[in-house]
Structure 1
Amino acid sequence: MSVFDPKLQKEPYYPVVKFYYYKEWRQFEMKFHSHEAAECMHVLSGSCKVETDEGSYQLKKGQIIFLDAGTRHRLIVSERCRMFNVEFSFEQGCTAFPPFFKLCKENRALGNMVNKQASQLLLHDTDDTYQCLRRLILEVDKKSEQTDFMVQLLLSEYLIRIAELAEAKVAEPDQQAYVKRALAYIHQNYDREVSVADIANSVHLHPGYLQRVFKAFTGKSIHEFLISYRINKAKAMLKQTDISITDIPHYIGMNSQQYFSTTFKKHVKCTPSEYRKRHQYNDNLRRKSEDIIQSAEA
């Protein structure tokens, strides 16, 4: 069933996963074909080309192509490409989860995507969509009737994220879109070792070009922004938790205590311990480090 079938906007249909797979292709050329379900291909590594009756799309790591049901297409891999494919459709039913037409009314991006009826879209992921897809597939793999609600919930979230990527692609100038994706990558990965090259690779730009674009829009270099973001996270931990000052660097991607202390003092004009004494005035507001550890483990 097409994502744009008029029945979906009038009757209680719910999204369902029809098929999915991980696959590494090597020097492969597929014949033209189509599916009764819509399909999304996530490129995890390498590159490939997808040809349709309307055009040809070159995909590389971090890109997604959405193909509506019935879209004739074929995959061509000249060297190697690892990807995650998911096919989804819609079925009638009765559950506590809202039907698709209500989701389209509630979420502007999803409603816009349905109204535009683009049967194929090339999108740039910020990792959020892929992580959502992974959670969805883990739920599908449980193979229990009790998972139906969660599958509908996660698949609906996935479709909304796809729609948001499509909306961002149309609404933003290219340079601003690159900066937004770079910021999203920093927000998701600041707690580990991150290089400018890693960030540039995530948005498919040369590091030097991304540096220039990033500074033009934010007023800071990527390194300056990353440091500032980490220091702000450290300040929040110092104010709101009892995490040891010697452990905080490991929570924000700074694995050297000396570097953390020096950098913190340079930006905040006081040491971490002085900052904690000034701002952590109410023990009842503090989150205990044990609670944070238990929450992370859960």
Structure 2
Amino acid sequence: MSLYNNQLRSEPHFPVVKFYYYKEWRQFEMKPHAHEAIEFMHVLSGSCKVETNTESYQLKKGQIIFLDAHTSHRLIVTEKCRMFNLEISFQKGRTAFPPFCELYKENEALRLMMTNKKPHLLLHDSDDTYQCLRRLIMEVDKKSKQTDFMVQLLLSEYLIRVAGLAEIEYRETDQQYTSRVISYIHQNYDREVRVAEIADAVHLHPGYLQRVFKVSTGTSIHEFLVLYRMKKAKAMLAETDISITDIPHYIGMNSQQYFSTTFKKYVQCTPSAYRKRHQFNEALRRKSEDIKHLSER
């Protein structure tokens, strides 16, 4: 049964796991085929390509492809790819857990996914969905009637999480991605931050995210991060008594030499010269001890 079957919206059904497996593929090319069940493919390592009748998807670690029932597809692995495959279907009836039609009514992301009716979707996971899937499989493996309720609970949670990932794909605009990157930098500038980490947090390929951010802001993600760190460093130099040798650690730059070189490049003077030039009022300076106490609250 398709995820988009109208019966799932109005009549009591419950999802069931039909088949699942871990598999490492090596230089493999599958013939086009389709399943009666809905399929989810989680890439755990390596990369692969999945072709449907209309699209070709390149998948890497942390990505999921959703294939609705009866969707023709084939898997192509050039080198190697380890993945987890899950196939589910729906049965009519009621269990102790609320039927799927109730979940559909209550969850906005699920309603959006079922309204868009995409036969296949490439999704970007931040590990939460896969962890839910692992808990689900642990319950399925127990093969006990006592686990039925937990299987229903976890499978429903898994579908809602997948719908949440799909909602991001439907609704996220380039400007929204840029805003999320900026917010991430504002919250994490005080530690080492990599573009790949930011891309994972916003569910986009690093290369594509770089292009989106550059178009939106006129600068690269790395340069935006450096500029924001320099802004914070200037505030600390002008408004606090934090030692210049300690400031790099407050802004995620653990090398004093790199901090000094970068500061001079962007501000056109040394940190010590900037402090002398801008600290006019001793009474307005925030003491480093005050900042430490605030950070401990």
What residue number does 2:19 align with?
19
Report % sequence identity: 55
Pair 273,117 (structure 1): closer, same or farther in 2 beyond 3 Å: closer
| Structure 2 contact 62–126 (Cα < 8 Å) conserved | yes
| Structure 1 contact 33–74 (Cα < 8 Å) conserved | yes
Does 2:194 match 1:196?
Answer: yes
TM-score (norm 1): 0.67
Pair 279,184 (structure 1): closer, same or farther in 2 beyond 3 Å: closer
What residue number does 1:143 align with?
143
Does 2:293 match 1:275?
Answer: yes
| Structure 1 contact 196–222 (Cα < 8 Å) conserved | no
Deviation of 1:54 (Å): 2.2
Deviation of 1:204 (Å): 2.4
Please give the alpha-carbon distance, in whole angstroms, between the structure 2 residues aligned to 1:144 and 1:224. Answer: 57
Query: Structure 2: where are the runs of 5+ without partners?
Result: 230-244, 252-285
Deviation of 1:92 (Å): 2.6
Please give the alpha-carbon distance, in whole angstroms, between the structure 1 residues aligned to 2:196 and 2:62. Answer: 12
Deviation of 1:139 (Å): 1.6
| Structure 2 contact 13–99 (Cα < 8 Å) conserved | yes
| Structure 2 contact 196–206 (Cα < 8 Å) conserved | no
Does 2:28 match 1:28?
Answer: yes
Please give the alpha-carbon distance, in whole angstroms, between the structure 2 residues aligned to 1:89 and 1:25. Answer: 25
What residue number does 2:64 align with?
64
Pair 172,113 (structure 1): closer, same or farther in 2 beyond 3 Å: same
Please give the alpha-carbon distance, in whole angstroms, between the structure 1 residues aligned to 2:42 and 2:186. Answer: 21
What residue number does 2:122 align with?
122
What residue number does 1:97 align with?
97
Q: How many residues align?
A: 244
Deviation of 1:64 (Å): 1.1
Letter in 2 for 1:28: F
Please give the alpha-carbon distance, in whole angstroms, between the structure 2 residues aligned to 1:124 and 1:61. Answer: 9
| Structure 2 contact 38–89 (Cα < 8 Å) conserved | yes
Query: Structure 1: where are the runs of 5+ without partners?
Result: 227-257, 281-298
Deviation of 1:44 (Å): 1.6
Does 2:52 match 1:45?
Answer: no
Please give the alpha-carbon distance, in whole angstroms, between the structure 1 residues aligned to 2:158 and 2:178. Answer: 21
Deviation of 1:35 (Å): 1.0
Please give the alpha-carbon distance, in whole angstroms, between the structure 1 residues aligned to 2:194 and 2:62. Answer: 17
SS class of match (2:7): helix
Does 2:73 match 1:86?
Answer: no
What residue number does 1:156 align with?
156
Pair 41,175 (structure 1): closer, same or farther in 2 beyond 3 Å: farther
Please give the alpha-carbon distance, in whole angstroms, between the structure 2 residues aligned to 1:182 and 1:94. Answer: 46
Show CA shifts across 1:152-180 (max 9, x none). Answer: 11111111111111111111114633764
Letter in 2 for 1:263: Y
| Structure 2 contact 67–119 (Cα < 8 Å) conserved | yes
TM-score (norm 2): 0.68
Pair 185,38 (structure 1): closer, same or farther in 2 beyond 3 Å: farther
Letter in 2 for 1:204: H
Deviation of 1:214 (Å): 9.9
Which of the pair has more CA radius of gyration?
A: 2
SS class of match (1:176): helix
Show CA shifts across 1:44-92 (max 9, x none). Answer: 2221111112222221222211001111111011111111111111113
SS class of match (2:206): coil
| Structure 1 contact 17–87 (Cα < 8 Å) conserved | yes
Deviation of 1:140 (Å): 1.3
| Structure 1 contact 196–223 (Cα < 8 Å) conserved | no
Letter in 2 for 1:6: N
CA RMSD of aligned residues (A): 3.9
